Amino acid sequence: MAKYIIKRVILAVVTVFVVATITFFLMNLVPGGPFITEKSISVQAQEALKEKFGLDKPLIVQYKNYMLSILQGDFGLSLRQRGRTVSDIIGSRFPISARLGGISMVVAVVIGVPLGSVAALNRGKWGDKVITVIATCGAAFPSFVICTVGMYIFGVHLGWLPTMGLTAPANYILPVFALSFYPMAYITRLMRSSMLDVIGQDYMRTARAKGLSQANRLFRQALRNAILPVITYVGPMLAYLLAGTFVVEKIFVIPGLGGQFVSSILNRDYTVIMGTTIFLATLVIVINALVDIAYKFIDPRVQLK
């Protein structure tokens, strides 16, 4: 196990390094720059800015300096939001995205797994049909449609729910609903098909022949096997949700990381682009590693190599 983890860590560092390098050069290839603004600023001011942030040096030197400074844990200053460090920006925005994304994921799992199981156990009956319809809708509606429709009905028309910010618990309802609907629907469908697969297995029949109670059979034998595909899915989905989602953040005015990431790209705020990319790449890698390790605990057949 320890050997496995060391291996994963080394691999992760290499991956992040490659991601950072590619991003650095791609970003500099794109036309435009952080100091080219709508009203042109004087040549002296542009030079002064470039010098201040080290952008006057050749690209390869900038790359070397950047890599050396991130090794020391310094992600530098934002080029556009003067006076703010990249760590400050990520540090203040990620918790907001993470909390919203985390809650949405929990909601999706808590609703999706039982719904999928119920549908499988009632295959072909009306319960199954209702759930299948909901799951299909969830997979088909994009989140911005759910956002706007939810916002219009519950926020504007009925006035029951707040529509902007995340200041009170009620503020979470609409964005969480919008964010969790798709993963919830997907998990329901996954769970339904894998549950159907599992309950048709020989060992389930054996368990029944051995006289085990139905509850024991379902929860101890079936669920544990049936939930495996869900776990595979939850990893990347969680990374996606925690990173912040641009559309939902924009519609509900949530100061999360997703919106910041997109605007840093549009503004060519190089240091923020780099910092956020490295941070998100690390996040995805860590979550995937955790999912792999979680597999080992749930399914003893899995070998970690």
Instruction: State the number of binding residues for other proteins (CB under 8 A).
Output: 76
Per the structure block, which two tokens stand in for 246?
A: 């641009």
What backbone torsions phi and psi does residue 23 show, to the nearest 5 degrees? -60, -45
Q: For residues 186-245, which are near other proteins according to CB under 8 A?
A: 215, 218-220, 223-224, 227, 238, 242
First to last CA, the chain: 9
Nearer to other proteins, 20 or 273 (CB): 273
Q: Collapsing DSSP states into helix, strand and coil, what is residue 163?
A: coil
User: How far, in Å, CA of 269 to CA of 90, rounded?
Assistant: 13
Q: For residues 105-164, which are near other proteins according to CB under 8 A?
A: 105-106, 109-110, 113-114, 117, 148, 151, 155-156, 159, 162-164
Looking at 101, 138, 150, 244, which residue binds other proteins (CB under 8 A)? 101
Q: How far is the CB of 175 from other proteins (least distance, A)?
A: 12
Q: For residues 44-73, which are near other proteins according to CB under 8 A?
A: 44-45, 47-49, 52
Looking at 12, 19, 27, 103, which residue binds other proteins (CB under 8 A)? 103
C-alpha closest to that of 152 among 131, 167, 174: 174
Q: Which residues pair with 197 in a beta bridge?
A: none
Looking at 60, 73, 82, 209, which residue binds other proteins (CB under 8 A)? 82
Looking at 58, 266, 303, 305, which residue binds other proteins (CB under 8 A)? 266
User: How far, in Å, CA of 224 to CA of 132, rounded?
Assistant: 22
Whether residue 225 contacts residue 175, with contact meaning beta carbons closer than 8 Å, is answered with no
Q: Does 178 bind other proteins (CB under 8 A)?
A: no
Q: Does 168 bind other proteins (CB under 8 A)?
A: yes
User: How far, in Å, CA of 76 to CA of 295, rounded?
Assistant: 38
